Amino acid sequence: MNRCEIGIIGLAVMGQNLALNFARHGISVCVYNRTRERTEAFMRERVRGEPITPADSLEELARCLTRPRRILLMVQAGLAVDQVIEALLPFLEPGDLVMDGGNSHYADTERRMEALAARGIRFLGVGISGGEKGALLGPSIMPGGTPEAYALAEEFLLRIAAQSEEGPCCAYMGRGGAGHFVKMVHNAIEYAFMQGIAEAYDFMKNALGMPADAIAETFARWNEGTLNAYLVELAARVLRYRDPETGEPLVERILDQAEQKGTGRWAAQAALELGVPTPTLTAAVIARTLSHFKADRERIAAGFPWPDRRSEAADPSAVTDLEAALNLTVLSAFSQGLWLLHEASRAYRYGTDRTEVLRVWRAGCIIRARWLIFLREILREDPEDPHLLFHPRFRQELQGRLPAAGRVLARAFEAGIPMPALRTAVDYVLSMRRARLPANLIQAQRDAFGAHTYQRIDRPGTFHTEWEEG
């Protein structure tokens, strides 16, 4: 049998496209899928002379690979990963490397890493972003684990990664579950970015009365400026697409229920556990959850009228304000996500370099955007600062857009349009710019009903008061 340099287990679209990507970069691949029919179909329909060898069993795949073996798992996150690892173990040797390229939870990755290390087998949690097209043409790759494990895969991963002007969009994210943690935060920012875009669409449609074509043109124009980003470009493309059957914009025929695979929810949970406020990232998760209660929303809407404040014609000033507001949402989402990465790296000792994270996100991934250049410049000036808000230039970008965001929110309220991503982004900025918040009253009440004590601003120490009226 041919001696292949890497094995891939799992031949759904992502696994197939990664196999082709490796092979087209001169890396020989052995592939295996639980159902043999899918392997045969892949070899028959998509492989055109590339150095790809099919295997009928995990044992055959292991025999096919050069030592130390390098095996990439592209199976569904969760129990399936554990099952494949368990079935694969009898055919592995100390020094081999197993990589999980799915959207696994970072804690599961660390558990698997420790279990395999006890048997001398190396493990990487590899975050991969870019969707099926990116997997084929060049994804953004975020591997985490031991430096020794990464060294075994580095050459191969760099060759298949997306390219920016700064090089391959792949870098070592740090120890333990850092790779999957970074990918989880990437997805949380993606949720917020998409929610912000959806809110802008809703505002243009229902507050300004703009048709889909005009909204598409607006997104396309924004994509030429500071909002230059894959997701903004994609929004314009989606809004332009016409249903072949009706000739109407297809997006208007799609049920308003957004799915999710859990990474956004995990990020919100991780933020709460680490004590990091990520309101915009969390609001985007909640918005998707709310979207699923379609029947409930229809029933409530029937008995909950709202004044129709739709404009007869698009207001250019409102569109300009909306562009500023979406920029503020995006910047706030990145600020929150990067703060979460900083705290996770400190708490879990990942050693994650956030400037490298931003570089890896420059191409191939879903949240690639022009703002990443600016954000990386700021982080490089003081990489130890947890907050982008500590930097004057970042604050200036937000401060200049806050009045416009406020006008959009006021107009959205009049039209009955929810904008949770924008609203939480504004509240996040306003809260972080306040030297004093009303939490003093909360703490006084906690002491009054539960003797939880409090601290004073005029003297050191911990205090308790009997708050009975005199």
Q: Enumerate the known binding-site residues for substrate.
A: 103, 129-131, 186-187, 191, 261, 288, 446, 452
Could you give the CA distance from residue 19 to residue 53 in angstroms, rounded to a whole number? 10
Question: Cα 242 to chain center, whole Å?
Answer: 29
Catalytic residue among 37, 148, 155, 190: 190
Known active-site residue 252:
no
What is the separation, in whole angstroms, between the first and last Cα of the chain?
90
Cβ-count burial 156-192 (b if 16+ within 10 Å, e if not): bbbbbbbebeeebbbbbbbbbbbbbbbbbbbbbbbbb
Helix (H) and strand (E) counts in the chain: 20, 9
**Cβ–Cβ contacts within 10 Å for residue 455, how many?**
11
Amino acid at residue number 387:
H
What SS3 state is found at 340? helix
Could you give the CA distance from residue 170 to residue 162 in angstroms, rounded to a whole number? 8
- How big is the CA angle at 94 (ends 91 and 97), to the nearest 5 degrees? 80
Could you give the CA distance from residue 333 to residue 271 in angstroms, rounded to a whole number? 13
Could you give the CA distance from residue 381 to residue 362 in angstroms, rounded to a whole number? 19
Known active-site residue 205:
no
Could you give the CA distance from residue 167 to residue 169 in angstroms, rounded to a whole number? 6
Beta-bridged to residue 29, according to DSSP, are 6, 52
Task: Tell me whether the omega of the peptide bond preceding residue 68 falls within 30 degrees of 0, making it cis.
Answer: yes
Please enumerate, by residue number, every residue annotated as part of a binding site for NADP(+): 10-15, 33-35, 75-77, 103
Report, in angstroms and rounded to the nearest whole number, the Rg of the chain calculated over CA atoms: 25
Catalytic residue among 5, 110, 183, 233: 183
Question: Cα 411 to chain center, whole Å?
Answer: 29
Looking only at the bridges linking them, the beta strands covering 97-100 and 140-145 are unpaired
Amino acid at residue number 413:
F
Could you give the CA distance from residue 387 to residue 389 in angstroms, rounded to a whole number? 5
Catalytic residues: 183, 190
